[in-house]
Amino acid sequence: MPLRVAFESQTPHSCILWGPPGVGKTTLARLMANAFDANFISISAVLGGVKEIREAVDLAEKYANSPVHPSRTLVFVDEVHRFNKTQQDAFLPHVESGLFTFIGATTENPSFEVNSALLSRATVYVLEPLNTLELSSITDRAVELIGSIELDTQSKETLVSFADGDARRLLNALETVCTMAKHEKISAINVAWLTKVMGQRLRRFDKGGENFYDTISALHKSVRGSDPDAALYWLVRMLEGGADAKYLSRRLVRMASEDIGLADPRALSIAVDCAQVYERLGSPEGELALAECVVYLSIAPKSNAVYQAFNQTKALIKSQGTQPVPLHLRNAPTKLMKDLSYGANYRYAHAEENAFAAGENYWPTGMEPTGFYQPVERGLEIKIAEKMRWLKEQNERAQAPNSPNSPKPWAK
């Protein structure tokens, strides 16, 4: 709405257009220049630098100070995330003074790729991939303008699906189809001929940008949410888009550790085995092992108890610093260390009943024991919780007053 209001009120403002390729970022910037009756200066961050920025500033000053017809300027920077911090900073004083309206276009998340000073002076608008109806409308208009070809319904649907939300890709494909149709003297396009001309269908997939991390996040959350079908969908989306399958196998190992843990320890073994299978077979044979792993991880009982305990332990150590190891827990490989009481009075668990030294203290002196690990009531952790309760009972019995197993003073 703010952008529409700007058009209607003829009041331009600096903004950043963030969206995938082929959704109309450059077109929208040109429409702004026309609507605001502003001079349009375009800079490509891929090819340009400080020199082009200075030239744009000089030209904007010339337009603003024209004695005949002073006019405002819109400076459009395509792929603005390609500019480094210094280059982005070069726009700041002129955006601040109002010399020109700044419009940046990017396929990457501005929060990470555009410096905060420039980001604070511009409104971010998120552009979504074009939907089927919008792409169909573009196809109809293009075919009408061409006038020399006809697409049946199935061919049109195939072309729209091929575009995958990208209008530029759609029009480029349509241009190729028209060229080939003209060469072969064909006017009516059917789906069989269209598929032959277009070649293998590829989905858009950014191997290192925002789309990549969004998709791996969707895969991880689907596994965590115990939805094997959705998890398979995102896995195949990434594989078909050219994602590194070795990276995916590493992420599956992480999922097994983080989200399943000891609720099903086999999950980690299966993840490691599947990674090794892919390492040995490669694509496409090894991809089935990754699919098998994704399904198993999705249906396995879930527990993040170890993950939570690990993070809490790190936080405690960071807050309390390094505590000395108690003497009875220290190793004593030399006579001097033994003379200094290293390892003195240590209770060897295997020599105790049930191989458990009830009441022994394994914490730094003066530190209260903390229950980091809290098993959940799912999978194997149900049995683990039972064992931990039994161990706690043994410790409490040994530490009770007048207990024959009450710990010695050095164990307190």
CB of 338 closer than 8 Å to CB of 332? yes
The residues, any chain, with a CB within 8 Å of residue 336's CB and separated by 6 or more, are: none
Percent of the chain past pLDDT 70, that is, above it, reads: 94
The residues, any chain, with a CB within 8 Å of residue 300's CB and separated by 6 or more, are: 260, 263, 264, 266, 267, 379
Q: Domains of the chain, with CATH numbers?
A: 2-126 (3.40.50.300), 132-198 (1.10.8.60), 210-299 (1.20.272.10), 306-411 (1.10.3710.10)
The pLDDT tens digits of the residues spanning 162-173 come to 887 889 988 988
| Mean per-residue pLDDT, 327-354 | 87
pLDDT of residue 406: 46
- Mean pLDDT estimate for the chain: 86
| Mean per-residue pLDDT, 239-256 | 90
**167: closest CA among 130, 211, 206, 132?**
130
The pLDDT tens digits of the residues spanning 13-29 come to 899 999 888 899 999 99
CB of 349 closer than 8 Å to CB of 385? no
Is pLDDT above 50 for 66?
yes
Is pLDDT above 90 for 305?
yes
Percent of the chain past pLDDT 90, that is, above it, reads: 33
pLDDT of residue 21: 87
Confidence of residue 407 (pLDDT cuts 50, 70, 90): very low
Spatial separation of the C-alpha atoms in residues 379 and 357, rounded to whole Å: 28
Q: How far is CA 359 from CA 66, 326, 344, 386, 394, in A?
A: 89, 15, 16, 18, 7
pLDDT of residue 229: 93
Strand extents, DSSP E, 89-247: 101-106, 123-126, 150-151, 188-189
pLDDT of residue 188: 84
The pLDDT tens digits of the residues spanning 107-158 come to 888 888 888 888 888 889 999 889 889 999 999 999 888 887 888 888 888 8
**289: closest CA among 217, 239, 216?**
239
State which amino acid sits at residue 182: K
Confidence of residue 322 (pLDDT cuts 50, 70, 90): confident
pLDDT of residue 405: 47
Spatial separation of the C-alpha atoms in residues 74 and 31, rounded to whole Å: 11
Residue 204 vs residue 387, higher pLDDT: 387
Confidence of residue 86 (pLDDT cuts 50, 70, 90): confident
| Mean per-residue pLDDT, 337-359 | 87
pLDDT of residue 26: 92
Is pLDDT above 90 for 275?
yes
Q: How far is CA 334 from CA 20, 94, 342, in A?
A: 66, 72, 9
pLDDT of residue 342: 86
Report the residue count for the chain.
Answer: 412
Spatial separation of the C-alpha atoms in residues 170 and 204, rounded to whole Å: 12
